[in-house]
Structure 1
Amino acid sequence: MTVTVQITDVSKRYGRIDAASGVSFELGQGEMVALIGHNGAGKTTLMKLMLGLIHPTHGSIRVLGEDPAAGQFSARRRLGYLPENVSFDASLTGRETQRFYARLKQEPLAKAEQLLDVVGLGAAADRRVGTYSKGMRQRLGLAQALIGRPQLLLLDEPTTGLDPELRQTFYDAIQRLAAEGTTVLLCSHVLTELEERAGRVIIMNRGVKVADGSLDELRRLARLPTKIRLKVSGLASGEVPSWLAASTPHRRLNGHIVEIDAAPEQKLDLLRRVMAAGTSVEDLDVMSPSLDELYAHFLRSAETPR
């Protein structure tokens, strides 16, 4: 795997405050990685360090083969960035804004303008940015971040102000870029969006990396129960099915649905016992721990004294 970003034992201190502390990870070409954590967890600090906007107190960073802290900026033309709060000249139109950033990156103007259609601003391209809504300004920010087909894309709360249809359009465009080799680092508080799309998740807490891996890897580490819901017929009120041990955590949601908390290694055995008992199963749902649940688990673990 070609490494796009390498962060090694990086710390950033502001007075007595550690915005990042001993953080290490690598991002590979074509990876779509979610960087999550509460406000103040260090996510934006890490992005600013990658951009060279601030310098680490300790440790080293390599971005597209360069050290941003040393003023090596040739990689910036191959990097796209969307901050959480975008700000543009209100007197320029959307088209003029896009052309301005295209010239900065020395990219063809026509291709940059086409991105306005990609983000749903084609019809408003000649309106002044000062008349744009917050969601429209966010889309314009995304359009400028995509100029030049970046090799590394840093997105901080990119779907703020976007309606569901435009969110889907946005993620379709990002996934196409990742499939073609662009490394994507996403920060968002909307974890359900990231759960469906990110191949890997990095969880930050108080400036420290507390978890890093795919959803499957994080689920194995967390060992949170899987919820299994069975809609069965023929159960009397309060009856515990023969295939379910009385000590197994379960709930009767109504007269026909049994919800069971099963350890990861118990799922298949439980389903085999249900079928062997001849139970009439009308419906089945297996719900693995969500990213929200995993996030809460790793934060609790980080806060628990050892």
Structure 2
Amino acid sequence: MADTPPAVVVEDIRKSYGDLHAVDGVSFSVAEGEFFGILGPNGAGKTTTLEIIEGLRKPDGGTVRLLGQSPFPRDLALLPRIGVQLQASAFFEKLTAREQLETFASLYGVSAATAGEMLELVGLTDKADTREDKLSGGQRQRLSIACALVHDPDVVFLDEPTAALDPQARRNLWDVLRAIRERGKTIIYTTHYLDEAEILCDRVAIMDHGKILAMDTPAALVRGLDAPAHVILERGSLPLAEALALVGADDATENEQSLTISTRTPAPLLSALAERGTLDGLQVRTATLEDVFLHLTGREYRA
């Protein structure tokens, strides 16, 4: 609803460690029920920003309102309304997945039956009786998220939940994140995977060196870049000079593996290639958030 106040309001927060400005004048708001991503390479200031919003760290300047309250100093009345999954999760030793969740549930006065529901949500029902230290990396991440959700919080903070996971485990976790979103939760998460955020987030803020460089929906950021599409063919599909002469071709380059044609009007270019029978193995690459990052910083993205 338009009249619903934002779940999070951040205004000009700052945090320095000596000469390092970890967070340098960051401002944004997150609507209730929004999936908001804070993106950037390692060292961009993402985790520090998240910790300030959660109330784990005091800012040097600026203000934060979390569900209408100041998160720092720690507000005990606020804690049951937020769920936090940290980069490095700590579990109770020698407990099974179900016992971990039941223990977390008891801390919030939640019934043990909720543990079973959370295990199902994160796809760990078949691992309920497996000790945490016997779970795979992806399974431990899902258990960590379940622990953050067991008390049914209004706002969920996830700090690089897919870091260090293999591609299959990452995609499995995407399904979990989508399921959380479908429950109407407000999600604020950090990641250095731009492709992931492009798929999952309603809006993103791209950070580097403690500052927000751009903020909008992923589609709007990419659209605002006004970058050409790249049509990639196998080398030898047609001569470079002929590629440059095609209708719709703005530029063309060739390397040992492929021929790449840049275009802002892909439809006539693809039609011209079809007429020449050169569509086999063709790939079309449109602009991505990584291109936005490159445009904003003038350098390659570093994960």
Q: Does TM-score exceed 0.5, indicating one fold?
A: yes
Q: CA shift at 1:73, angstroms?
A: 3.3
Q: Is the 8 A contact 1:36 1:204 kept in 2?
A: yes
Match runs of 1:106-145 below 5 Å: 106-145=109-148
> How many residue pairs align between the two structures?
293
Runs of 4+ in 1 over 6 A off after TM superposition: none
Q: Is the 8 A contact 2:233 2:259 kept in 1?
A: yes
Instruction: Say if 1:134 and 1:216 are closer, same or farther in 2 by CA, change over 3 A.
Output: closer
2:51 counterpart of 1:53: no
The residue that corresponds to 1:260 in the other structure is: 261
Q: CA shift at 1:77, angstroms?
A: 1.3
Instruction: Say if 1:273 and 1:44 are closer, same or farther in 2 by CA, change over 3 A.
Output: closer
Q: CA shift at 1:145, angstroms?
A: 1.4
Instruction: Say if 1:111 and 1:281 are closer, same or farther in 2 by CA, change over 3 A.
Output: farther
Match runs of 1:1-306 below 5 Å: 1=2, 2=4, 3-160=6-163, 162=165, 164-229=167-232, 238-240=241-243, 242-244=245-247, 248-251=250-253, 259-262=260-263, 266-267=264-265, 271-272=267-268, 279-280=275-276, 283=279, 285-300=283-298
- SS of structure 1 residue aligned to 2:214: strand
| Cα distance in 2, alignment partners of residues 191 and 277 from structure 1 | 31
| Cα distance in 1, alignment partners of residues 240 and 134 from structure 2 | 61
Unaligned runs of 5+ in 2: none
Amino acid at match of 2:64: I
Q: Is the 8 A contact 1:215 1:291 kept in 2?
A: yes
- Aligned-residue Cα RMSD (Å) equals 3.1
Q: CA shift at 1:219, angstroms?
A: 2.0
Normalised to the residue count of structure 2, the TM-score between the two structures is 0.82
Q: Is the 8 A contact 1:5 1:27 kept in 2?
A: yes
Amino acid at match of 1:27: V
Q: CA shift at 1:281, angstroms?
A: 6.0
Q: CA shift at 1:275, angstroms?
A: 5.1
Instruction: Say if 1:59 and 1:166 are closer, same or farther in 2 by CA, change over 3 A.
Output: same
Q: CA shift at 1:249, angstroms?
A: 1.2
Q: CA shift at 1:57, angstroms?
A: 1.0
Q: CA shift at 1:16, angstroms?
A: 2.9
- SS of structure 2 residue aligned to 1:74: coil
Amino acid at match of 1:11: R
Which stretch shifts more, 193-202 or 59-68?
193-202
Q: Is the 8 A contact 2:12 2:27 kept in 1?
A: yes
Unaligned runs of 5+ in 1: 302-306
Normalised to the residue count of structure 1, the TM-score between the two structures is 0.81
Q: Is the 8 A contact 1:93 1:127 kept in 2?
A: yes
- SS of structure 2 residue aligned to 1:20: strand
Instruction: Say if 1:240 and 1:50 are closer, same or farther in 2 by CA, change over 3 A.
Output: closer
Amino acid at match of 1:78: R
Q: CA shift at 1:20, angstroms?
A: 0.6
Amino acid at match of 2:131: R
Q: CA shift at 1:64, angstroms?
A: 1.2
Q: Is the 8 A contact 2:233 2:283 kept in 1?
A: yes
- SS of structure 1 residue aligned to 2:207: strand
| Cα distance in 2, alignment partners of residues 92 and 30 from structure 1 | 33
Q: Is the 8 A contact 2:247 2:268 kept in 1?
A: no
Q: CA shift at 1:294, angstroms?
A: 2.0
Q: CA shift at 1:146, angstroms?
A: 1.9
Q: Is the 8 A contact 1:36 1:189 kept in 2?
A: yes
Q: CA shift at 1:90, angstroms?
A: 1.6
Which stretch shifts more, 46-55 or 116-125?
116-125
Instruction: Say if 1:73 and 1:275 are closer, same or farther in 2 by CA, change over 3 A.
Output: same
Q: CA shift at 1:117, angstroms?
A: 3.4
| Cα distance in 1, alignment partners of residues 34 and 150 from structure 2 | 19
Q: CA shift at 1:235, angstroms?
A: 5.6
| Cα distance in 2, alignment partners of residues 189 and 23 from structure 1 | 18
Instruction: Say if 1:79 and 1:276 are closer, same or farther in 2 by CA, change over 3 A.
Output: same
Q: CA shift at 1:8, angstroms?
A: 0.6
